[in-house]
C-alpha cells in the first residue's frame, strides 16, 4: 500500500469512528457525587450529598410509573442498604454514626429498574 492511500484510509476511518462514537457518548446518562468528596471527613450526624446527573431527567412525578427513556430517579444506598429514593440533586442523610461509610447512588427507571447498562457512582467518606 502506498503512503497516500494508507493516510487517506487512516483519515477516513478516524472520521468515521468519530461520527459513530460521539453521538452515543453525548447521550449516555451519567452520575457523579460532587460532595462529599472521595475520602473526605465530614461533620455528622447529618451529611448532605450533592449529585451531578447528566443526559438524564430526574422526574419526581414519574416515580413508580411506566418507564420513559431518559427519565427516572435516584436510589441512594448507604453501607449496602437502600436509604432513600429521590429525584433531587441533593439529599441529606440523617443520623450517621461516626466512622467510615460508603454511599452508592444509582440511576433508576420510573419503574425502579436499573438502567441497562447500570449507571452509578460511589463515595467512601468518614463521619466525625
Q: How far apart are CA 91 and CA 106, in angstroms?
A: 14
Report which residue's Cβ sits closest to Cu ion.
112
C-alpha closest to that of 42 among 90, 99, 82, 104: 99
Q: How far apart are CA 11 and CA 60, in angstroms?
A: 46
Q: Does 108 help bind Cu ion (rule: CB under 5 A)? A: yes
Pick out residues in 1-60 that bind Cu ion (CB under 5 A).
none
Instruction: Note whether 60 and 87 are within 8 A (CB).
Output: yes
Q: How far is the CB of 108 from Cu ion (least distance, A)?
A: 4
Q: Does 71 help bind Cu ion (rule: CB under 5 A)? A: no
Q: Does 124 help bind Cu ion (rule: CB under 5 A)? A: no
Give the binding-site size for Cu ion (rule: CB under 5 A): 3
Q: How far is the CB of 47 from Cu ion (least distance, A)?
A: 21
Cα diameter, the chain: 70
Pick out residues in 79-98 that bind Cu ion (CB under 5 A).
85
Q: How far apart are CA 1 and CA 36, in angstroms?
A: 55
Which residue from 27, 112, 118, 122 is in contact with Cu ion, where contact means CB under 5 A? 112
Segment interacting with Cu ion, rule: CB under 5 A, options 3-11, 12-20, 45-53, 100-108: 100-108
Q: How far apart are CA 121 and CA 72, in angstroms?
A: 16
Binding site for Cu ion (CB under 5 A): 85, 108, 112
Amino acid at each position: 500500500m502506498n503512503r497516500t492511500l494508507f493516510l487517506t484510509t487512516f483519515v477516513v476511518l478516524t472520521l468515521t469512528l468519530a461520527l459513530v462514537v460521539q453521538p452515543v457518548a453525548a447521550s449516555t446518562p451519567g452520575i457523579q457525587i460532587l460532595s462529599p468528596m472521595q475520602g473526605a471527613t465530614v461533620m455528622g450526624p447529618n451529611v448532605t450529598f450533592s449529585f451531578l446527573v447528566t443526559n438524564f431527567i430526574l422526574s419526581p412525578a414519574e416515580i413508580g410509573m411506566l418507564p420513559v427513556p431518559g427519565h427516572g430517579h435516584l436510589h441512594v444506598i448507604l453501607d449496602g442498604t437502600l436509604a432513600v429514593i429521590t429525584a433531587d440533586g441533593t439529599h441529606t442523610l440523617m443520623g450517621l454514626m461516626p466512622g467510615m461509610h460508603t454511599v452508592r447512588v444509582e440511576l433508576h427507571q420510573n419503574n425502579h429498574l436499573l438502567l441497562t447498562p447500570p449507571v452509578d457512582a460511589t463515595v467512601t467518606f468518614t463521619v466525625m
